[in-house]
Chain A
Amino acid sequence: MDSDAAQAMIRFGLGPRADRLAPADPRGWLASQLRAAGPAPTPGTAAALEALRADRRDKPKPMQSRTHALFLRDALAHLTQGLTTEQGFRERLVWFWANHFSVSIRQGPVAGLIGPFIAEAIRPHVTGRFADMLLAVMRHPAMLLYLNNAFSFGPDSPAGRRTGRGLNENLARESLELHTVGLASGFTQADVTSYAKILTGWSINLKADPPGFMFRRFAHEPGWHSLLGHRFPPGEAGGVAALRFLGTHPATYRHLATQLAAQFVADDPPSAAVSQLFDTLHRTGGDLGAAAAALPHLPGAWRAETKLRTPQDLLIGAGRALGLRQAERPMLWALHLLGQPLWAAPQPNGWGDKAADWAAPEAMLRRVDFAYAMAGRFPRPAPTVGHAALGPRLRPATGTALARAGSRRDALALLLSSPEFQRR
């Protein structure tokens, strides 16, 4: 493995697998992953909503509910996919976009829906158009429940007038601030309120067979509404038009370019990297495949170890280095202890990906605890793992420390907690 292959697999992918050869043509290996879309996902949203409906009828204890069982199944499948995928770059893009449109079990009855959300709203679009991903996200029951839009009523809609219920602007605000144009666009409170009105009626029908998205005409606020200087007509089509507008807005491209560069180049990426990504998104009308293809060509993209691995990155990177093929329940607990429980971000902005977000002293000690626990559970010869996982990144000082360690377990723990392993 040369340093370019290491960079391709560790920075852009999820880390080398112990049982796979390094790519001979690292740049070609990255590009090929963007052309080969995976198999179409198995639809799971309706089944998850049926499980939610049944839970509401039977009222099981939370840990015995159908939705909790779905959460566990999907969470372990998600980690297993990370451990085993041959397309680590593509999978990292899935992680990135799932975190950009974060849905968390900390709010709303979404536990059974996050797996289907990623499968149906995120995964098919990671090399497609951003506006298509945005539309799929905003129609998905997971997002409509997580940020409360399913129960937002137009105050002047028939249902609003009859019941006295009204707007909930949570999804509208976070969609502007976090998902699309961002704060730098200078959107106002009036934009948030208008957008919330445009989105009224975007809801779910839990009683239908199959249950799923439903545009509730009688909850929809009548009239035209102005968003960022553009006017949108009433009706579901007005919402679709507003999402197309936001999804192709230059401020959205600027926002996405900044976040992508921070994920793939450095915590504080060169401004040239951001502007190149912006130009690509702008020129292609928000083609995320073109943006992904541009990532390896950005200034700074091949400078090694500028990024700290997040806990999820560390877990999957270690699991791949150790040759694991199947995620296990204790891995979910490990992510919890490391401060990044899966699909449970505390707030709608998802998880941070900068070193300062993860560098608390206690968190770093826990990474050593984690390394020691993994080394005990999955004993492997540390030098072999080190060469396969890090190639030329393995420093002589670390190699010496592995050789001098008092036990094989200590050696492997030192490798997994070394700075070169904790960076990407």
Chain B
Amino acid sequence: MLTRRATLLGLGVSAAAPGSALALAAGGGERRLVVVIQRGAMDGMSAVVPYGDPGLRALRARLIPPPPGQPEGMGDLGGFFGLHPAMPRMLAMYRAGQLLPVHAVAGPWRVRSHFEAQDDLESGAPDRLDSGWLNRVAAELPAGGVAGQAMAVGVDMPLLLRGPARVGSWAPAGFGPVAPDLYARAAGLAAGDPVIGPALTEGLREQGFTDGALGAGGRRRGRAAHGFVALAGAAGRLLAAPGGPRLAAISVDGWDTHVGQVPRLHVMLGELDRGLAALRATLGPAWRQTVVLTMTEFGRTARENGTGGTDHGTAGVAFLAGGAVAGGRVLATWPGLRPGQLFQNRDLAPTQDLRALAKGVLAGHLGLPEAALGRVFPGSAGVKGVGGVVRA
């Protein structure tokens, strides 16, 4: 089936970012992992365009950005792949060796339901579990600071972070100040409630921390404060603060591009680009000890659909970004785009298990041993972590 296999396409642009060795000397306890959940299924073949594949144009001519070097053209990633033109900051990260696009990646599930696949993505398993894999990572790490090891940035608590380990959450804006001890009294009244009690107690514990890290305006800002760029910037400040969490998760909705994909995706990818740059800016020196993993529930159809968009597919793209990433290349075993090479003659075929990528990060970056990786991703004994994705 797979006639063209080209591992690690794209040449390394820089072998090591300046200062990275120094940064890592601070020790594993300083290393941070941010997971971005792209809900709705990002079209990987638009984010990282396999423009060198001769089959691409026949599938989706109208979805391909201009080639590298042309006005509004994609950024070249080594002669075969191009980064979407809405992502200049991520292109700069790539050139600095801090971005590793991973192509033809998919989880072990083969479903095309957003909701089922998002549950699987966050569970880290072929079927939904009651806890998320990032929560299970937190459980493997030493006890965290005042805010716990992990924090959800945004109003909701994604399944990815639900589970036995204590996890905080933070979101911008509010209703205005309340009477100083009202939270504590409300928490006391709710102590017997299995849901409300623990949530309020946990919220109070974090609140002292987040207010300190974000300043007085942290809880009261406007609508703009809810977008991914603002959330990512806040996540960086929280992660960089003394006693801050080491793990964070952010959800971004809006990737379900069935119609008019080109302009919509331009906005979404631009927001992703600016958000990662905001995260880098607010992390400051801690960026060098950080890995960001972006992941989505599945890719989209290789062919353009009837309305200038794409429908639910299989394999797509994940990004690793951060000063600790061994980037500047594209990690892909390219399956090809001829009809016989597509998955069910429809989707980009998966050649990389997302869990293997995550395991590579957890082992290389956070130092999780093999047994811990097995607990984080149950039933994945045969899935070996990808080596060399982070700097040693």
Name A's B-contacting residues (CB within 8 A). 106-107, 147-148, 151-153, 155, 160, 165-170, 173, 177-178, 183, 189, 192, 308, 334, 337, 339, 346-349, 355-357, 359-366, 368-373, 397-398, 401, 405-407, 409-410, 413-414, 417-419, 422-423
Query: Which of B112, B174, B197, B346 meets A369, CB within 8 Å?
Result: B174
A107 to B255, alpha carbons, bound, how many Å?
Answer: 11
A347 x B174 contact (CB < 8 A): no
Q: Say whether, besides A347-B40, A370-B175, A401 and B185 are in contact (CB < 8 Å).
A: yes
User: B391 contacts which chain A residues (CB < 8 A)?
Assistant: none
- Minimum C-beta distance from B318 to chain A (A): 20
User: Smallest CB-CB separation from A155: which chain B residue?
Assistant: B306
B344 x A189 contact (CB < 8 A): yes
Query: Which of B115, B182, B196, B204 meets A422, CB within 8 Å?
Result: B196
Query: Which of B39, B112, B185, B306 meets A173, CB within 8 Å?
Result: B112
Knowing that A362-B206, A369-B176 are A-B contacts, what are 18 other residue pairs whose CB atoms are under 8 Å apart, sorted by A's residue number?
A148-B259, A151-B307, A167-B305, A168-B259, A168-B305, A337-B174, A347-B256, A360-B155, A361-B157, A362-B152, A362-B169, A363-B156, A365-B203, A366-B155, A366-B171, A401-B189, A410-B185, A418-B186
A363 x B155 contact (CB < 8 A): yes
A334 to B195, alpha carbons, bound, how many Å?
Answer: 22
Query: Which of A152, A368, A406, A423 meets B307, CB within 8 Å?
Result: A152
A362 x B203 contact (CB < 8 A): yes
B183 x A410 contact (CB < 8 A): no
A361 x B168 contact (CB < 8 A): yes
30 A-B interface contacts by CB (under 8 A): A107-B256, A153-B306, A155-B306, A166-B307, A167-B311, A170-B259, A183-B111, A189-B112, A189-B346, A334-B175, A337-B173, A339-B155, A356-B157, A359-B195, A361-B157, A362-B155, A362-B206, A363-B199, A365-B183, A365-B200, A373-B176, A401-B188, A409-B179, A410-B185, A414-B182, A414-B185, A418-B186, A418-B190, A419-B196, A422-B196
Name B's A-contacting residues (CB within 8 A). 39-40, 111-116, 152, 155-157, 162, 168-171, 173-176, 178-179, 182-183, 185-186, 188-190, 192-193, 195-197, 199-200, 202-204, 206-207, 253-254, 256, 258-259, 305-307, 309, 311-312, 344, 346
A413 x B115 contact (CB < 8 A): no
User: B170 contacts which chain A residues (CB < 8 A)?
Assistant: 362
User: B111 contacts which chain A residues (CB < 8 A)?
Assistant: 183
User: Smallest CB-CB separation from B62: which chain A residue?
Assistant: A164
A401 to B155, alpha carbons, bound, how many Å?
Answer: 29
A169 to B304, alpha carbons, bound, how many Å?
Answer: 12
- Minimum C-beta distance from A80 to chain B (A): 21
Chain B at the A interface: SS class: loop
- Minimum C-beta distance from B167 to chain A (A): 8
Q: Say whether, besides A155-B306, A369-B176, A398-B189, A360 and B183 are in contact (CB < 8 Å).
A: no
B115 x A170 contact (CB < 8 A): no
Q: Say whether, besides A148-B258, A168-B259, A414-B186, A337 and B175 are in contact (CB < 8 Å).
A: yes
Q: Say whether, besides A356-B162, A361-B168, A401-B189, A346 and B258 are in contact (CB < 8 Å).
A: no
A423 to B116, alpha carbons, bound, how many Å?
Answer: 28
CB-based closest 9 A-B pairs: A166-B306, A361-B203, A360-B157, A369-B175, A419-B193, A364-B199, A339-B155, A372-B178, A365-B203
Q: Say whether, besides A168-B258, A173-B112, A372-B175, A414 and B200 are in contact (CB < 8 Å).
A: no
User: B188 contacts which chain A residues (CB < 8 A)?
Assistant: 401
Chain A at the B interface: SS class: helix
Query: Which of A169, A355, A362, A419 meets B305, CB within 8 Å?
Result: A169
A168 x B307 contact (CB < 8 A): yes
User: Smallest CB-CB separation from B203: which chain A residue?
Assistant: A361
- Minimum C-beta distance from A351 to chain B (A): 11
- Minimum C-beta distance from A223 to chain B (A): 16
Counting residue pairs across A and B whose Cβ atoms lie within 8 Å, the total is 175
B175 x A366 contact (CB < 8 A): yes
B199 x A360 contact (CB < 8 A): yes
Q: Say whether, besides A346-B39, A359-B195, A370-B175, A418 and B189 are in contact (CB < 8 Å).
A: yes
Most chain B beta-carbon contacts within 10 A, residue among A183, A355, A364 = A364
Query: Which of B186, B195, B197, B306 meets A152, CB within 8 Å?
Result: B306
A368 x B196 contact (CB < 8 A): no
A357 to B152, alpha carbons, bound, how many Å?
Answer: 13
User: B157 contacts which chain A residues (CB < 8 A)?
Assistant: 356, 359-361, 363
A422 to B189, alpha carbons, bound, how many Å?
Answer: 12
- Minimum C-beta distance from A226 to chain B (A): 18
A169 x B311 contact (CB < 8 A): yes
A361 x B306 contact (CB < 8 A): no
A324 to B39, alpha carbons, bound, how many Å?
Answer: 37
A413 x B113 contact (CB < 8 A): no
B115 x A160 contact (CB < 8 A): no
- Minimum C-beta distance from A108 to chain B (A): 8
- Minimum C-beta distance from B140 to chain A (A): 22
User: B259 contacts which chain A residues (CB < 8 A)?
Assistant: 148, 151, 168, 170
User: A419 contacts which chain B residues (CB < 8 A)?
Assistant: 189-190, 192-193, 196-197
A348 to B312, alpha carbons, bound, how many Å?
Answer: 14
Q: Say whether, besides A168-B258, A422-B196, A410 and B176 are in contact (CB < 8 Å).
A: no
B39 x A347 contact (CB < 8 A): yes
- Minimum C-beta distance from B52 to chain A (A): 26
User: A369 contacts which chain B residues (CB < 8 A)?
Assistant: 174-176, 178
- Minimum C-beta distance from B190 to chain A (A): 5
A169 to B192, alpha carbons, bound, how many Å?
Answer: 47
B307 x A148 contact (CB < 8 A): yes
A308 x B195 contact (CB < 8 A): yes
- Minimum C-beta distance from B303 to chain A (A): 9
- Minimum C-beta distance from A392 to chain B (A): 17
B179 x A372 contact (CB < 8 A): yes
User: Smallest CB-CB separation from B258: which chain A residue?
Assistant: A170
User: A423 contacts which chain B residues (CB < 8 A)?
Assistant: 193
User: Smallest CB-CB separation from B226: which chain A residue?
Assistant: A336
A363 to B196, alpha carbons, bound, how many Å?
Answer: 10
A107 to B259, alpha carbons, bound, how many Å?
Answer: 10
- Minimum C-beta distance from B274 to chain A (A): 20
User: A361 contacts which chain B residues (CB < 8 A)?
Assistant: 157, 168-169, 199-200, 202-203, 206
- Minimum C-beta distance from B198 to chain A (A): 8
User: Smallest CB-CB separation from B205: which chain A residue?
Assistant: A361
A355 to B175, alpha carbons, bound, how many Å?
Answer: 22
A418 to B199, alpha carbons, bound, how many Å?
Answer: 13
User: Smallest CB-CB separation from B162: which chain A residue?
Assistant: A356
User: B207 contacts which chain A residues (CB < 8 A)?
Assistant: 365
B179 x A407 contact (CB < 8 A): yes
- Minimum C-beta distance from B238 to chain A (A): 12
User: A405 contacts which chain B residues (CB < 8 A)?
Assistant: 185
Most chain A beta-carbon contacts within 10 A, residue among B173, B178, B199, B253 = B178
User: Smallest CB-CB separation from A168: which chain B residue?
Assistant: B307
User: Smallest CB-CB separation from B196: which chain A residue?
Assistant: A419
Q: Say whether, besides A360-B169, A364-B203, A401-B185, A173 and B312 are in contact (CB < 8 Å).
A: yes
A405 to B184, alpha carbons, bound, how many Å?
Answer: 13
User: A348 contacts which chain B residues (CB < 8 A)?
Assistant: 114
- Minimum C-beta distance from B122 to chain A (A): 12
A308 to B194, alpha carbons, bound, how many Å?
Answer: 11
- Minimum C-beta distance from A374 to chain B (A): 9
